[in-house]
Amino acid sequence: LVLILHRLVYKWFLLIYKMSYATGIVGYMAVMFTLFGLNLLFRIKPEDAMDFGISLLFYGLYYGVLERDFAEMCADYMASTIGFYSASGMPTKHLSDSVCAVCGQQIFVDVNEEGIIENTYRLSCNHVFHEFCIRGWCIVGKKQTCPYCKEKVDLKRMFSNPYPFSSWERPHVMYGQLLDWLRYLVAWQPVIIGLVQGINYVLGLE
């Protein structure tokens, strides 16, 4: 039951991540349509259309940043409780070729086979994982290493591999990088503002 719960948590975080991504895209498109005047075709006021687009863009980015932080913390905790992952040392369990190190459940679909619900993916270190699990681990959970051996994950290899990662990874990775940039911007914003105000005060530009 605990292992099934782990997979449901990863799928839930991945769903929220996709929803925030879609919300941000819709908000961005609404802003661009307003700038080009396409809102007039639907008899929508520019102020209303711009407010709608900015609101969607804000909530998409905000919940995307918040969700990735929660996913990172939950990924560390859940993976460490299974025993195949340790943040500071060696794993406490030996990983079988038919077990996913992220969720601890059996893998029934071969790497070269196409699954009904999800596929199986093999990293460059030859460890195999469920598709949704490795998505949640690398893209949503901001992990760049194998959960078991800690070998660095080559995302470019994922891009060039047409199977099973063919349509989701590049825009989602770029969106994740944007969320990280916004997160650091918000964290360092008070320092930057204080530094600018200090320079203005020293130079007498106030």
Q: What is d(CA 61, CA 79) in angstroms, rounded to the nearest whole number?
A: 27
Structural domain containing residue 105: 2-203
Give me the pLDDT at residue 165, please: 47
Q: What does DSSP say about strands 120-122 and 128-130: parallel, antiparallel, or unpaired?
A: antiparallel
Give me the pLDDT at residue 55, please: 93
Give me the pLDDT at residue 71, please: 77
Reported as a single tens digit per residue, the pLDDT across 47-97 is 999 999 999 998 988 888 887 788 777 777 777 777 666 666 666 677 777
| 3-state DSSP of the chain | CHHHHHHHHHHHHHHHHHHHHHHHHHHHHHHHHHHCCHHHHHCCCHHHHHHHHHHHHHHHHHHHHHHHHHHHHHHHHHHHHHCCCCCCCCCCCCCCCCECCCCCCECCCCCCCCCCCCCEEECCCCCEEEHHHHHHHHHHCCCCECCCCCCECCHHHHHHCCCCCCCCHHHHHHHHHHHHHHHHHHHHHHHHHHHHHHHHHHHCCC
The domain tally of the chain equals 1
Give me the pLDDT at residue 90, please: 65
pLDDT band for 123, please (50, 70, 90 cuts): confident
Give me the pLDDT at residue 85, please: 67
The predicted model scores a pTM of 0.62
Give me the pLDDT at residue 162, please: 47
Give me the pLDDT at residue 141, please: 66
Reported as a single tens digit per residue, the pLDDT across 25-39 is 999 999 999 999 888
